[in-house]
Amino acid sequence: MIIYLSTLLLTLLVTIVLVPITIKVSEMIQKYDMPGKRKVHTTPVPRTGGIAMAVAVFSSMLLWAQESSLLSAYVTGAGIIVVFGLIDDFVDLPYRYKFAGQFLAALVVVIVGDVQIRNLGALFPGSSQLSLWIAIPLTIIVIVGVTNAINLADGLDGLAGGICILSFCCTGYIAYLSNNTDISLLAVALAGSIFGFLKYNTHPASVFMGDTGSQFLGFSLATTTISLTQSAAGLSPLLPMIIFGFPVLDTGVVMLERIGAGRSPFKADSNHFHHKLIRLGLVHKEAVFVIYLLQALLVVSAFVFRYYSDWFLLIGYGIFVNVVIIGFFAAEITRWKAKRYTFLDKHIKGRLAKVKSRGVWIVFSFKVVEYGIPLLLFVTTLLPTTVPGYFSYIAAGLLILTTVIAFVKKKWLKWFLMADLYIVIPLIVFFSTQSAYPFVTQSMMWAYNCAFIVLVFFVIMTLRLTRRRSGFKVTPMDFLIVFIAIIAPFVSGVYGQHKQVTFVAAKTVMLFFSFEVLIGELRGQYKRLVLFTACSLAVIIVRGLM
């Protein structure tokens, strides 16, 4: 379990650190994604976030690549994708050259990594295995297709990243249950890098992932899902169709529309599903949220029905496809528009605005968050039966660095605090979940677990009521937080005995999210938070040395 936490932590932190650096580089060389007719942003935005995600994933995978031909082939193929993507982001490659790079990358993982679609289950009766002459070109076509599908889905802030993080969470967890360490590690690394990137990519985004990031994620998604479902006994080979079914459907529909209109299927336009949702009257965040819901429906279905028959999955996906296509078609034919002045807008939002203007509830809500979240972390440090010695040395180093920065370079204090929390939280949550002191009763643990839900509620209320005009705001990414942190443990509890994994992930995500909000709301006044954090680090130091 510790290997997954360290991989997640490494890719998360590397991405968070590298994205601002790539933004600075983009500003220095004056390379931006410029506004245009097809685009929803109105100001130039750097599109260098993809390289930060790729470097983060490579830095973690290279630790394990020597022991796995699959991971070695993946790193090589993904490296080819990143090189071609970077060139495309800076000089706009013709699509023929893009396909050449994607084909070469796919060929590497297919031949060297043995990622091949050899089994189509009940859809190809009479033979259990496809011949290499069919399997190799079919796999290359699927990998190239998914790579481009994610690339084309990257049209709104947070959209491609959100779709992929949901997909990787599903793929990684299924791989973990199937004892496929290579795929589960890779999925965790990719999810961590996306989570770090989304910190900067939620609307309004300060950086885009560019073709480098979107093609990298698409290639990774196709490689992981195909490798997993073709190697794990019992899993339907059609499972990838469900996991990345929405972006593939979007791409297929758009290309058919272009061909029907007599245009090149590769000529960009504004007919993707996210464009259609905006034309139907949804604002940016609402369009992203709707697509998140659809993708969440697919990944939950993929997990729940992963052992069902191939025809069941095919029919189910066919129903989903028809509902989506007919729904958009009917909305366009009838010229339906989303009403903006509904009961929610008039009464719920109106009342919330009045509460916000009075400022009473925000004071109460913020005080609960300001004291409750650091206290919850402190209590977590007291729960484990044992704390490893190496963790105490890590905590000691962090405590010394943070103390020095607090006195010498206060403007850096925020980033050192974030580093403290991002390193300490996953580890201490993991150790507290592994074992607790005998005097900690079930009732006490129930109250402790409920405290997470209660405090996250006040965190969200703080976000909704705050008068701060910049910084952390409620975005569709909050849906991802709720989905991963709350829905996942329930799914795990019903369908598997690995509840511990998802509870660690849920609590970690909740604390990350809560501290992000708290640090933003403190507006530079970190004295009390530094004191709480120092106390938590001190407890870890003492307990690790006992």
Residue 196: closest CA among 367, 10, 25:
10
Residue 354's pLDDT is: 56
- Three-class DSSP category at 78: helix
Q: Quote the pLDDT of residue 479.
A: 57
Least confident of 61-65, 140-144, 357-361, 541-545: 357-361
Q: How far apart are CA 379 and CA 422, in angstroms?
A: 17
- Is there a contact between 419 and 13 (Cβ–Cβ < 8 Å)? yes
Confidence of residue 423 (pLDDT cuts 50, 70, 90): confident
> d(Cα 483, Cα 515) in Å, to the nearest integer?
18
| Whether residue 492 has pLDDT greater than 70 | no
CB under 8 Å to 174, separation ≥6 — which residues?
228, 232, 235, 239, 302, 303, 306
Model confidence over 285-297: pLDDT tens digits? 788 888 988 998 9
- Contact in structure between 71 and 186 (CB atoms under 8 Å): yes
Q: Is the pLDDT of residue 368 over 60?
A: yes
CA distances from 209 to 212, 245, 277, 397, 499 (A): 7, 21, 22, 33, 33
CA distance 307 to 506: 25
pLDDT for 345 beyond 60: no
- C-alpha angle with apex 333: 331 to 338, nearest 5 degrees? 30
Predicted pLDDT at 426 = 85
Q: Which of the residue ranges 196-205, 281-290, 444-453, 491-500 would you say has the lowest mean pLDDT?
A: 491-500
* Lowest-confidence region among 86-95, 105-114, 247-256: 86-95
Q: How many residues in total does the chain contain?
A: 546
Banded pLDDT at 497 (limits 50, 70, 90): very low
The answer to whether 40 and 173 have CB atoms below 8 angstroms apart is no
pLDDT value at residue 525: 85
- What values do phi and psi take at 244, rounded to 5? -110, 30
pLDDT at 97 over 50: yes
Q: Can you tell me whether residue 469 is helix, strand or coil?
A: coil
Angstrom CA distances, 356 to 467, 474, 523, stand at 8, 15, 18
What is the C-alpha separation between 219 and 139, in angstroms, rounded? 12
Please determine, for residue 203, whether its predicted confidence score (pLDDT) is greater than 80.
no
Question: Across-strand partners of 45?
Answer: 33
Is the Cα torsion angle 442, 448, 450, 453 positive or negative in sign?
Answer: negative
- Closest C-alpha among 163, 221, 10, 14 to residue 477: 163
What's the pTM value of the predicted model, to 2 decimals?
Answer: 0.76
User: What is the per-residue pLDDT across 247-292, written as a single tens digit (0 to 9) for each?
Assistant: 999 888 888 888 888 887 777 777 888 888 888 888 777 888 889 8
Local structure of residue 346 (DSSP, 8 states): I
pLDDT, residue 374, reads: 92
Residue 315 pLDDT: 92
